Amino acid sequence: MNHETDFVIIGSGVAGLRAAVELSSRGRVLILTKSRADESNTEYAQGGVAVAMSDEDQIGLHYQDTIRAGDGLCNGAAVRLLVEEGPARILELIEWGTQFDREGAKLSFTREAAHSRRRVLHAKGDATGREINRTLLKKVRSLPEVTLVPYAFALRLEISGDRCEGVSYLTRGEDGTHEVGAGAVLLATGGIGATYRDTTNPDIATGDGHALAFRAGAALADMEFVQFHPTALKLATAPRFLLSEAMRGEGGKLRNAEGDIFMSRYHHLAELAPRDVVSRAIFSEASRTGSDVVYLDLTHLPSGFVEQRFPGIYATCMKFGLDIARQPIPVFPAAHYMMGGVLTDMHGRTTVRGLFAAGEVACTGVHGANRLASNSLLEGLVYGARAGCAMAASPRKAYTPRFTDLCSVAWEQNETDSAPPEQELRQTMSEFVGIVRHEQGLREAADRFAATPFGRGQDQSAQEVNNKLINARLVTGAALYRLESRGAHYRSDYPHRNDSQWKKRLVACYDLPGRRVRYSTAEIGGTRET
C-alpha cells in the first residue's frame, strides 16, 4: 500500500458524509469521491426527507406505510430502526444548520405517494438534497480528522484472504494508481441509474460500488428491484429532469393523451398510489392511447403557488420553454432508484470482513420491493451513522446470513481493448429490463450482455462502463430468476405476487476462481451475525 489511514469512505453523498461525522472521533478518515464533492444523487433530491415528526404523525404509521409500499419484502427490523432513529438524525441536521422550510416557527411537511400523513420535510421548496449536502459538507470540512479528496476514483477493493484491507484509486491529473490501506472501508457510492438510457440520475450514478463489491466476492441482493419514478420530464430538447412527487402531493393530476384523468382507475389512492403502481399505469395509458407520454397537470392550482412551492423545477422547465403553472407537463417514467445492492446487516456490515456499505448502494431490506418516497435521504442519515459506528467498534466483523443455493452460472469475462458499447447497453436495459419485463426480452438482454466483452482500459471512463455492464448483467439475471411480479419488478408472464415461493431475497455472489455467479435465496429478516 502507498499509504495508510484508519477508515476509507468511498462517496460523498448523504450516507458517506454522515458516516464520516460518526467516525471522525474514532480515527483518521479519508473520503474518496470521484467528482466534485457535491456531485451526487443526494445533491439533486427534490421532494424531501420523510420523518414522523409532525403533530398528526406517529412512528408506527411511518413504519406501516414503508412496509406496505415495500410489497412484502421489507426487513421489518431494518424499517423499525429507520423510522425510530430518523427523528434524532433530523434534529441533529437542524442543529448543524439545515434550514428546512417552515410555516411560521413550525416545520412544514408535505405529502408524497403512499404516505398516510403529511410527513416529508423539504428545503427551499424543491432543493432538499442540496441543503442537506451543504450542511453535511460544511460539518465534515470542520472536522480535522477527515480528509476529503475530490476527483478520486475507486478502482478496486484490496482483498486479502476474506478481508478488505484497502482501496486502489485514481486521482485526476496524476498518473498511476494509489493504494490506501485501512482498518475498514465503507461503500457509499449511490445508485446505478446511468445503466439505463432514461434516468433521473446524474451521469456519476454508474453503480461502481455495486460492481466493486461484486468483484470482491460480496453478496448482492434484490438487484431486480429498480424503481422507476413516474414523472420525469419528457421533451425532445430536455434531459429526463425529475418532476417531484410532491407536485402530486400538492394536488397535481395525471392526464392521458386524450386529456382524461386516469389514476383512480388503477388504485384507490389515485395520483398518490405507490410509485410502482403509478409508473405501470402511465406505461399502460401511454400504450393504450398510442402516445409516448402522459401529462402532469398543475394548471388548476392557485395562481403563484407552483412558482413559489417548486422554484427550482419551475425555473428549469422555463429554460426549456415550458411554463408549468400554465401548461401540462409531458412526462414518462425513468429509472430512479436501486432498491437492491450490497447485502448488509443493520450495521452496514457486508459479507466481506472490513467492508461496509450504506445508502443507495446497500441493501438492508429497508425498502423491500418498492421504496416509499423520500425514505432514501433518511436511510442515508440513519444507516450512514450506524455503519460509521460499527466500523469503529468492530471493523473486522462480517455479516453471515444463511443462503439456500439456487443455481450457479458461468460468468463470461472476455476482454477487448475498446470499451463496451455503452449506448447500446443502456438502450437494451431500457427496452428489455424496464417497467414491464418478460422472459423473452430478458433472455435477449442477458444474451447481449453475455456476448459483450469488458474493456481492458484502466481509466475512469472505461471502468465506469465495465461497472455498468456488471450491473446490467446482475439486474437482468435477477429479473430472469424471480418468477413473479412484486413491487417494481413486473413480469407480464408472471403477473401475480407469489408469496409461497418468492417471499425471500434473491442473492448473487461472484465466485472468482470458478468464474461463476452463485444465485441463492435468503430469508428476509431471518439472519444471524458473527
| Positions that interact with ligand FAD (CB under 6 A) | 10-16, 32-35, 39-42, 44-49, 128-129, 153-154, 188-191, 200-201, 204, 208-209, 242, 337, 359-361, 374-377, 380
What does 8 interact with, of ligand FAD, ligand SIN, none (CB < 5 to 8 A by kind)?
none
CB of 121 to ligand FAD, least distance (A): 10
What does 279 interact with, of ligand FAD, ligand SIN, none (CB < 5 to 8 A by kind)?
none
Residue pair 243/38 in contact by the 8 Å Cβ criterion? no
Binder of ligand SIN out of 373, 425, 488, 522 (CB under 6 A):
373
What Cα–Cα distance (Å) separates residue 282 from each residue in 15, 220, 373, 514? 32, 30, 18, 43
**Residue 374 in the binding site for ligand SIN (CB under 6 A):** yes
275 labelled catalytic: yes
Count of helix runs (H) and strand runs (E) in the chain = 15, 26
Backbone phi and psi for residue 500, each to the nearest 5 degrees, phi listed first? -65, -30
Binder of ligand SIN out of 244, 351, 467, 520 (CB under 6 A):
244
Residue pair 85/382 in contact by the 8 Å Cβ criterion? yes
Q: Of 202, 278, 193, 291, which Cα lies nearest the Cα of 239?
A: 202
190 vs 441 by CB, closer to ligand SIN? 190
CB of 254 to ligand SIN, least distance (A): 14
Q: Of 178, 145, 79, which Cα lies nearest the Cα of 383?
A: 79
DSSP string covering 369-425: TSPPTTHHHHHHHHHHHHHHHHHHH-TT--B---EEEEEEEE----EESSPP-HHHH
Give the angle subtended at the CA of 319 by the CAs of 315 and 321, to the nearest 5°. 110
x/- mask, ligand SIN, residues 299-338, rule CB under 6 A, reads --------------------------------------x-
Q: Which residue is nearest to ligand SIN (CB)?
A: 47
x/- mask, ligand SIN, residues 250-289, rule CB under 6 A, reads ----------------------------------------
CB of 250 to ligand FAD, least distance (A): 14
Q: Of 430, 453, 426, 379, which Cα lies nearest the Cα of 203?
A: 426
Cell matching residue 289: 392511447
Beta-bridged to residue 364, according to DSSP, are: none
- Let me know if 448 is exposed, middle or buried by CB neighbors in 10 A (0-12, 13-18, 19+): middle
Q: Which of 275, 386, 426, 437 is catalytic?
A: 275
Q: What's the rounded Cα separation, in Å, for the pair 146 and 433?
A: 40
For residues 26-65, which are near ligand SIN according to CB under 6 A?
A: 46-47
What does 129 interact with, of ligand SIN, ligand FAD, none (CB < 5 to 8 A by kind)?
ligand FAD
CB of 422 to ligand SIN, least distance (A): 25
**Residue 121 in the binding site for ligand SIN (CB under 6 A):** no
Q: Which residue is nearest to ligand FAD (CB)?
A: 13
What does 15 interact with, of ligand FAD, ligand SIN, none (CB < 5 to 8 A by kind)?
ligand FAD
What amino acid positions are annotated as catalytic residues?
275
Q: Interface residues with ligand SIN (CB under 6 A)?
A: 46-47, 244-246, 337, 373-374, 376
